[in-house]
Structure 1
Amino acid sequence: MKKLLTTTLLALAAVLTAGAQSRTEVYTVPSKILGVEKNCTVYLPDGYGRSGESYPVLYLLHGASGCHTDWTLKGYMRRITDETVASGMARPMIVVMPDAAGEGENYTGRHMGYFNVPGWNYEQFFFEEFIPAVEKHYRITGDKAHRAISGLSMGGGGTAVYALRHPEVFGSACPMSGLLDALPGPRNYDDAFQQSVADNSPVVMLREMPDDKLDGVRSVRWWVDCGDDDFLWKSNVDFYTLMRERNIPLQYRMRDGGHTWRYWETVLPDVLVFVSAGFDK
């Protein structure tokens, strides 16, 4: 009898443990602006299905030649986020990974990127349709203090532009290995994408920003990271230099590493800790 009771308790504990975990799912947002449906991957923390409470949100952007599943399939974001939250260093949060993939081979080509281009107003979609739809569907504390944005490479550039252009939306912004200026040297991307990057350079935006706009940018908590062997190192240093010159507080990290998923896996825990500190304010 005692053995049966022990076995039953162990089985019950296993069931409870299996149920007490985070999960990811795909959510689809129909867009009148783009004329298509756009998917995103959403990370829901342990307890989301039981608590009934609302959570802060991190919008986590992928890079060029990627899609909304990159962070989960290549970057191990679920495991990293679970571990960082379990350690007590980060708050439980919802992580939304949008899709800015191109329509060509390897997700490049037509319509790749986070900016408005002729016939494809992605940035307008992101702010007018995507964020409202996601924050209505999930229990998200939808205010500036509890909303953060981060991303790698192309997504790092999107992160910087979105926070510079819409500082009232985000409490924290964390570009990782960001594409923060025009592409250095020739790349196998179409001309429309390369032009959109040049037209939306965070370095140029920051250099030319009127003084009366800077207080808004200062209201964002900034954290910027780039590897010392990254081909985008110079634009990141230029961005850091301009932020300092324009008296905009930021934390800047340059450490050993290149433009790789192995590097970004080491950066993500720090991003989660940084944005959590902002959520707690």
Structure 2
Amino acid sequence: MKSPFLFLFLITGLLATNAQSGKVFDQLSMKSEILDSERKFAVYLPPDYETSQRNYPVLYLLHGAGDDQTGWIQFGEVLRITDLAIKEGRATPMIIVMPDANTGVRGYFNSINGDWRYEDFFFEELMPHVEKEYRIKAEKKFRAIAGLSMGGGGSFMYALHRPELFSSACPLSAYVGPLSMDEMEERLKRNKETYNKKDIKAYFDKHNALSLIQNMPVEGISSVRWYIDCGDDDFLYEGNSLVHIAMKKKEIPHEYRVRDGKHNWTYWRESLPNVLEFISDAFHQ
């Protein structure tokens, strides 16, 4: 007969192993009045979420064009990478929220004519919903934003538009917006969108990272900790390099990383542990 103590030891060990894993839910949804639709989002909950009573910092993690709220889970391996970073002490336990910006109209911004208001949805509906639904510390110090490609552009814009809300922003391989009015107008032409030049200029100024950095008060931008990362073979290297130069000229503190790599998930999976460590430093300050 096997010892009951050995059985108890094995069961305890199994429970301890299971308790070390976080959880992801990738088909959550909420009703949006602003977008007049049901909106999906995904959430990562840290390993001790169900066994503790405390509140957690939050990272809003944005996907790229063509993906949805499942991208960071399926291809970015956010569960494995975050669990490991927490276990190794590189990251503090946190909640990660991953919204879908690929349904209806692709992207994280309001449209020029105002008939699609995704950014308003994000700040006025999604953020209040998740910060009420989950035990999230709803303060600037404990809130960060990051994303890749299109989501990197969203990270730039959201943190620049609302610097009072985020302690850190980590754009990865970011699309920083059209680099000129000509480029903006050409893109609209390809999409068969027609607007007057005044509206186009106003939209360009508000949705171009370089324009915002050049025209915003330095104090607001500097209140956010910046981690900008783009591969040396990435087709979006120019915009990220120009943002780095613009920040240097205005003496805005930021971390700028150029590693060997392209615009792909291999690069972003390698970026994520550094992002988690970087934003955790801000959470602890």
Alignment TM-score, normalising by the size of structure 2: 0.88
What is the CA distance between 1:11 and its match in structure 2? 2.6
Q: Does the Cα contact within 8 Å between 1:154 and 1:179 map onto a contact in 2?
A: yes
Q: Secondary structure at the match of 1:252?
A: strand
Which of these residues, 201, 211, 221, is aligned with residue 208 of structure 2?
201
The code of the aligned residue for 1:276 comes to: S
C-alpha distance in 2 between matches for 1:73 and 1:198: 35
Q: Given the alignment of the two structures, is residue 145 of structure 1 paired with residue 134 of structure 2, yes or no?
A: no
Residue 201 of structure 1 and its aligned partner are, at CA, apart by 1.4
- For residue 94 of structure 1, report the CA deviation from its aligned partner: 0.4
- Distance change (3 Å), C-alpha of 1:59 and 1:197: farther
* Residues 31, 38 of structure 2: 8 Å contact kept: yes
Counterpart residue number, 2:196:
none
- Say whether the 8 Å CA contact 2:20–2:83 is kept in structure 1: no
Asked whether 1:56 is paired with 2:57, we answer yes
Report matched runs for 1:122-141 at 5 Å. 122-141=118-137
* Correspondence 1:104-183 to 2 at 5 A: 111-117=105-111, 118-182=114-178
Matched, 1:46 2:84: no
How many angstroms does 1:21 deviate by?
2.0
The whole-number CA distance in structure 1 between the counterparts of 2:234 and 2:246 is: 20
Cα distance in 2 for residues equivalent to 1:89 and 1:176 = 19
Contact 1:177 1:233 in 2 (8 A): yes
Q: Percent same amino acid at aligned positions?
A: 44
Deviation at 1:30, TM superposition (A): 1.3
Counterpart Cα distance in 2 of 1:139 and 1:197? 37
| Structure 1 residue 3 corresponds to structure 2 residue 13 | no
- Give the drift of 1:203: 1.6
1:16 CA displacement: 3.8
- Offset at residue 197 of structure 1 (A): 7.8
Q: Note if 1:262 corresponds to 2:266.
A: yes
Tell me if the contact between 2:205 and 2:212 (Cα under 8 Å) persists in the aligned partners.
no
Confirm or deny that 1:253 pairs with 2:257.
yes
Give a deviation string over 1:146-182, Cα, whole Å, max 9, x none. Answer: 0000000000000001111100000000000000132
Distance in 2 (alpha carbons) for counterparts of 1:71 and 1:93: 16
2:276 counterpart residue number = 272
1:15 aligns with 2:9: no
Q: Which amino acid aligns with 1:34?
A: L
**What is the letter of the counterpart of residue 164 of structure 2?**
E
Over 6 Å off, 4+ runs: 183-187, 195-199
* Alpha-carbon distance in 2 for matches of 1:15, 1:191: 57
Contact 1:59/1:97 (<8 A) preserved: yes
CA contact (8 A) 1:179 1:232 kept: yes
Q: Deviations over 1:201-226 (max 9, x none)?
A: 1122223x14xx22111100011000
Q: Could you list the per-position Cα deviations for residues 103-154 of structure 1 after superposition, in whole angstroms to 9, with x for gaps in the alignment? A: 4xxxxxxx10000013110001111111011100000001000000000000
* Deviation, structure 1 residue 90: 0.8
Hey, what's the Cα distance between the residues in 1 that align with 2:12 and 2:132?
35
Match of 1:106 in 2: none
Structure 1: 5+ residue stretches without partners = 104-110
| Counterpart amino acid of residue 3 in structure 2 | K
Q: Deviations over 1:211-258 (max 9, x none)?
A: xx2211110001100000000000000000111111211000001000
Question: In the alignment, is the contact (CA less than 8 A) between 1:182 and 1:198 conserved in 2?
Answer: no
- Greater mean deviation of Cα atoms: 178-187 or 67-76: 178-187
RMSD: 2.1
Q: State whether residues 41 and 100 of structure 2, in contact with CA within 8 Å, keep that contact through their aligned partners in structure 1.
A: yes
Q: Which moved more, 1:9-18 or 1:151-160?
A: 9-18
Of 232-241 and 23-32, more deviation after overlay is shown by: 23-32
